[in-house]
A and B are shown apart, each in its own frame.
Chain A
Amino acid sequence: MTTTNILLCGVGGQGTLLASNLIADCAMKAGFDVKKSEIHGMAQRGGSVVSHVRFGESIASPIIRKGEADIVLSFEELEAIRWAEFLKPDGIVITNSQKILPMSVSAGSEKYPENIPEILSRSSIANICVDAIGKAIELGNQKCLNVVLLGVLAHKLPMIDSILWKESIKEKVPQKLLDLNLKAFDAGWALA
């Protein structure tokens, strides 16, 4: 059985940690061995954040090698290209179309790359760019961006039964936000 590697990236505060928790939980429910690694501490302070999620029959290292990721799930466009080289040549980038400017860009000393989906395509990297943040705002809370993106991701993970995603969301999300997040997942699923 092959190992599936998903690299999640984004900006501290965007909710990548909950998303990686949900993926790991679903993979475990689906009967896989699972490992996940991420760095805490800076996560709330606007820095670049990354989580590695790996599942399969038996997983040794919690870290994905360069060229091993099946999917890079990016919460922000610039982060998508920062981590794209972790992908297999036939891997895929799924990115939220949001742009969050690093301090050097907002202060005018550096430029944010233009047209990131086009850069990916020019690099022969398969990519899906979705307005997940727009969808989340439409649903009334930009914080559910992470679950919208999970809905998109779920399409690409046929080895995980789609029922499991909702089961995990029900277990991991606080009751008062459950409805919102279930809607967010469906919205993401419809976007893909």
Chain B
Amino acid sequence: MTHKGKKAFLSGNAAIARGAWEAGIRFASAYPGTPSTEILEFLGKYDEIDAQWAVNEKTAMETVIGAAYAGARSICAQKHVGLNVAADPFFTASYTGINAALVIVTADDPGLHSSQNEQDNRNYARMAKMPMFEPSNSQEAKDMVKAAVKISEEYDTPVIIRTTTRISHSEGVVELGERENAPEREFERNMGKYCVLPAIAKKLHEKVEKRTSKLEELSNKSEFNRIEKGDKKLGIITSGVSYQHAKEVFPNASFLKIGMSWPFPSELFQKFAAMVENVIVIEENDPFLEMAVKAAGVECIGKEKIPACSELNPDIIYEALKDFAEAKAPKSAKLVSGVNIPVRPPVLCPGCPHRGVFYTLRKLNCTVTGDIGCYSLGALAPHNAMHSIVCMGASITNALGIEKAMKDKIHGKLVAVIGESTFMHSGMTGLLDTVYNKGRHVTIILDNSITAMTGHQPNPASGKTLKGEPAKVVNLEAVCKALGVDHVTCVDPFDLKQLEETIKTALADPEPSVVITKRPCFLLKSYKPKTYKVSINREKCVKCGMCMKLGCPALEINPEDGKTVINYALCVHCGLCAKVCRPGAITQATEEAK
């Protein structure tokens, strides 16, 4: 895997992993989350790196901090909201500093391609006083990880690499290098550094402030912050992928290209501002660079023109700054008017074990607090079976709060729905809270034995590790019982009758109860269930529409006669539709399908 000097076509995430490997990183931990997931998957492919899936971002962060204290160059990677979960150890690691290098990747999601909010994690760098790099392509992603390792050890600080979806999931040409052999570092007892008792932390804070001044000097001369001389009329300050988009629209402008964006390179900026007539700040989401520009007392064009919502692209930048543009927008092909193009939102896959759960919850007219995962799609039509989705683990405690507010008005109707991976991430504490504070709602744990939404990462319910080694399988039933839930029932979500009975019994229970629906994700390559052919006798179809309530992509209504047809290009013969078909038009064979 050395290939020094060879070029490869890598995503930002693959380039970060490659940079970590070249920089001699030995340990990595993370919880999966789009768009950061693949970083750990790529790291796991290197023999020299011990990479693992953690149960949540906080445990991952604490583990890499421990590893860095003990002398292993380490990295963790999380999506933007994952850093919220890990924020507690993250802030204090800035005070203690490290021993061997520690790199913290935050992968933000402007445009909310796969997230619940659009927070701009560059603000974390300022708040935690940690240096931060923002790569603008895959090559920089790799180079900046290596620079981060160096700075981390030189300045005794964790270092942030901040990517966005368009950096993590865009690919570009990267020149490969060799792996550096990191020197061994001993872990010695050093109370004044590693034990943040108040009196010690007070001193550490002073150290952090001094470090910040030194890092600002570094930022002013960093190779990643550079002035690109061009047209003096237009001085564009930008970072990350916005730099690449801006280059498309303003190829001849002057640029202050920011790669190390915290601490802000104030002196370099002053030099740039003196060179140009108009300063324009082009950045996604928050006015992070713009605030630094304004704090320096320089007038600029920023968020009053550049949208704060969603991601940027060259078209949006052109539209916002048309008056300054050198060339007109390209003319595009135009579709004749009057063509209605139906939207195509994502749907639960054919064979998804969650489908029957939402069908049943809707049927029982339950109030449902949801959580983060594939099953968030249960909120959409035709299921419409979700009343709230906040963050990882919130389903259970949201439900507890709803009970506290509504009391008898909601008892017997309230259900929290959470995947097994999310339950282990941050649902377990909420369940304990529910038991302790006398909640009585039903918690349904959708156990498909894998973290599915992010692309099938193993978790403690899967029986294997990121490296593919066998691992102990968690006993969720025993966990729930140990937390104080006396009534825990396991059920196959494909057995609709039993599922409905189980949920009804649980709803009637005056104490908190848990239902675990157990069936693997249908897309799991290792899961090869016996399937029995599903077919429809269209003469028996009475157009009652029961099957359509399942929201299965393999079922279609024939516009000519209004009856259901099965699309065999998509059908996986799970048989759920046969179970809900009242007139018996859809049936499932009893012999195994071919």
Contact A107–B247 (Cβ < 8 Å): no
Known: A35-B170, A40-B455, A89-B331. A113 touches B339 (CB 8 A): yes
| A-B complex: 6 closest residue pairs judged by Cβ atoms | A67-B332, A67-B330, A47-B346, A41-B114, A45-B346, A62-B170
Q: Any chain B CB within 8 A of the CB of A139?
A: no
| Interface contact A87-B332, CB-CB below 8 Å | yes
Instruction: Give the contacts of A31-46 with B (CB-CB under 8 A).
Output: 33-42, 44-46
Contacting B173 at CB < 8 Å: which of A34, A39, A44, A84? A34
Contact of B169 among A37, A87, A102, A113 (CB under 8 A): A37
**Which of A62, A84, A100 is B166 in contact with, Cβ under 8 Å?**
A62
For the complex, give the distance between the alpha carbons of A101 and B345 in Å: 11
Q: Name the residue on B nearest A52 (C-beta).
A: B170
> Is B506's beta carbon under 8 Å from chain A?
no
Query: How far apart are the CA atoms of A101 and B332 in the complex, in Å?
Result: 27
What are 18 A-B residue pairs whose CB atoms fall within 8 Å in the complex? A34-B9, A40-B35, A41-B34, A41-B113, A45-B377, A46-B347, A60-B247, A63-B313, A65-B313, A66-B329, A78-B344, A81-B341, A102-B343, A102-B344, A103-B344, A107-B548, A119-B336, A122-B336
Is A86 on the interface with B (CB-CB < 8 A)?
yes
Contact indicator A39/B113 (Cβ below 8 Å):
yes
Tell me whether A123 and B332 are in contact (CB under 8 A).
no
Q: How large is the interface on A (under 10, 10 to 19, 20 to 34, 35 or more residues)?
A: 35 or more
Residue of A nearest to B248 (CB): A61
Bound-state CA distance A117–B339 (Å) is: 13
Contact of A103 among B7, B173, B336, B553 (CB under 8 A): B553
B244, A62: Cβ atoms closer than 8 Å: yes
- Cα(A63)–Cα(B314), bound, Å: 8
Of A61, A107, A142, most B-chain CB atoms within 10 Å: A61
B248 touches A60 (CB 8 A): yes
A68 proximity list for chain B (CB < 8 A): 330, 332
Please name the residue on chain B nearest to A101 by beta carbon.
B556
Once bound together, how far apart are the Cα atoms of A123 and B491, in whole Å? Answer: 54
Q: Judge if A156 is at the interface, Cβ distance under 8 Å.
A: no
Closest Cβ neighbor of B350 among chain A residues:
A46
Do A123 and B170 have beta carbons less than 8 Å apart? no
> How many whole Å from A146's CB to the nearest CB in chain B?
15
Name the residue in A34, A35, A65 with the highest tally of chain B Cβ atoms < 10 Å from its Cβ: A65
The verdict on B165 contacting chain A, using a C-beta distance below 8 Å, is: yes
- B241 contacts which chain A residues (CB < 8 A)? 61-62
A137 to B137, CA, bound (A): 39
Given the contacts A41-B114, A47-B346, A60-B244, A113 and B553 also touching, CB distance less than 8 Å: no
Interface size on B, residues (CB 8 A): 63
Chain A proximity mask over B85-121: 1 for CB below 8 Å, otherwise 0? 0000000000000000000000000000110000000
Judge whether B555 is part of the interface by a CB distance below 8 angstroms. yes
Residue B197 CB within 8 A of the other chain: no
* A81 and B374 form a contact (CB under 8 A): no
On chain A, the residues within 8 Å of B463 by CB distance are none
Query: What is the interface of chain A, defined by CB distance below 8 A to chain B?
Result: 11-12, 24-25, 28, 33-42, 44-48, 59-63, 65-68, 78-79, 81-82, 84-89, 91, 100-108, 110-113, 119-120, 122-125, 142
**Distance A80 CA – B550 CA, assembled complex (angstroms):** 28
**Is the pair A102, B342 in contact by a Cβ cutoff of 8 Å?**
yes
| Cα(A41)–Cα(B313), bound, Å | 20
Contacts of A120 in B (CB 8 A): 335
Q: Would you give the shortest CB distance from B317 to chain A, in whole angstroms? A: 9
In the complex, what's the smallest C-beta–C-beta distance from B553 to chain A, in angstroms?
A: 5
Q: B169 touching A38 by the CB < 8 A rule?
A: yes
> Which residues of chain B come closer than 8 Å to A24, judged between CB atoms?
9, 171
Most-contacted residue by chain A among B9, B333, B523 (CB, 10 A): B333
User: Once the chains are docked, how many angstroms separate the CA of A46 from the CA of B349?
Assistant: 7
Given A65-B314, A65-B315, A107-B548, check contact A42 B346 (CB 8 Å).
yes
Complex partner residue of B333 from A35, A89, A113, CB under 8 angstroms = A89
Q: Are B333 and A110 in contact (CB under 8 A)?
A: no
Q: Are B335 and A81 in contact (CB under 8 A)?
A: yes
Q: In the bound complex, how far is the Cα of B242 from the Cα of A61, in angstroms?
A: 8
Q: Which residue of A lies closest to B523 (CB)?
A: A44
Residue B190, interface by CB 8 Å? no
Give Cα A108–Cα B548 distance, bound, in whole angstroms: 10
